[in-house]
Amino acid sequence: MDRNTKIIAVAGKGGVGKTSISSAFVRLLTEAYPNARILAIDADPAVGLSTALGVEVTETLDDIRKSIVASVEDGAPREAIELLSEARYRIFDTMVEQQRFSFLAIGRPESAGCYCKVNAYLKEVINLLSRDFDYVVIDGEAGIEQINRRVMEKVTHLVLITDPSRKGTQVISTIKKVADELVMYDRCGAIVNRVTDESLIPYIHVEGVDVLAVIPGDSAHAANDIQGRSVFDLPADSPVMTGAREALVKLGILA
């Protein structure tokens, strides 16, 4: 990883708004740094980041992985360096280039169950691509799997998302403990999302994690989502945008 590249990994349990906040991060970075190279990675098999960012995906990382594996199985053995070169070429070929950022999706493997193979590939992809971008935002899958498998082994900023529930805080507490052992990161913080009762805030605590922002329920975001609009259509002063901005400022990513 290039020491100047900022890699922001977003993690937490399912249904707490990781994708909404990840997409808000991407928008804020494109607005603050219009000349920067920005990459958004949808690492969640639930594949929601593309919709939130208004991106149409035609090929995913898992498609690349399977096609390269198939080419090896069907043809003569090839050197590892040749396979790596092909993978790099195919990854850049698969990226969706938007006006202000690039986008890459992990995809949803056809077979149910373990995502071990595609997660291992994703780890190499993150290491490979990070040097080519100034900012990388990773919308991680729900839970601790990708942290536990060191998919996001080297990130600069780990942002943990929870809602005001005991389950949500337990999940990010577990992610933090595992990350402390397996992930190299510079800064870590939490965002409490979808808060409907501010009196609950004092009860939300994860040891060793600063709360970067508290985001109330966002009717503007809900309306935006149901109408099929992207994060770029949200009002700049909507709760999700305001909270995401506050978090990036506290992390030192935005001034």
The pLDDT, as a whole number, for residue 226 is: 87
Show the tokens assigned to 79: 């050197």
Phi/psi of residue 203, each to 5°? -90, -10
Specify if 135 maps to a domain. yes
The pLDDT, as a whole number, for residue 74 is: 60
The pLDDT, as a whole number, for residue 183 is: 86
| Helical spans, DSSP H, in the chain | 18-32, 49-53, 61-74, 80-94, 116-129, 145-148, 166-182, 219-226, 239-250
The pLDDT, as a whole number, for residue 142 is: 83
In order along the chain (255 residues), what is the average pLDDT of each group of 10 residues?
A: 80 94 98 96 85 91 75 59 68 86 80 57 76 92 73 85 94 93 92 91 86 92 88 95 98 96
Show the tokens assigned to 7: 């890699």
Give the residue numbers spanning the domain of 60: 6-250
Q: Which amino acid is at 194?
A: R
Specify if 201 maps to a domain. yes
Specify if 122 maps to a domain. yes
Specify if 222 maps to a domain. yes
Distance in angstroms (rounded) separating the CA atoms of residues 30 and 37:
9
Positive or negative, the CA dihedral 135, 159, 238, 233 is positive
Phi/psi of residue 79, each to 5°? -65, 150
Show the tokens assigned to 133: 């971008």
**Biggest distance spanned by C-alpha atoms of the chain:** 65
CATH number at 99 reads: 3.40.50.300
The pLDDT, as a whole number, for residue 71 is: 65
The pLDDT, as a whole number, for residue 240 is: 96
Specify if 255 maps to a domain. no
Helix axes 61-74, 80-94, angle to 10 degrees: 150
Closest CA to 221 of 203, 202, 244, 204: 244
Distance in angstroms (rounded) separating the CA atoms of residues 153 and 146:
9
The pLDDT, as a whole number, for residue 97 is: 92
Closest CA to 60 of 147, 12, 118, 16: 118
Q: Where are the beta strands (DSSP E) in the chain?
A: 6-12, 38-43, 96-97, 102-105, 135-140, 157-162, 187-195, 210-216
Specify if 37 maps to a domain. yes
The pLDDT, as a whole number, for residue 115 is: 54
Specify if 229 maps to a domain. yes
Number of domains in the chain: 1
Specify if 146 maps to a domain. yes
User: DSSP 3-state assignment of 184?
Assistant: strand
The pLDDT, as a whole number, for residue 83 is: 63
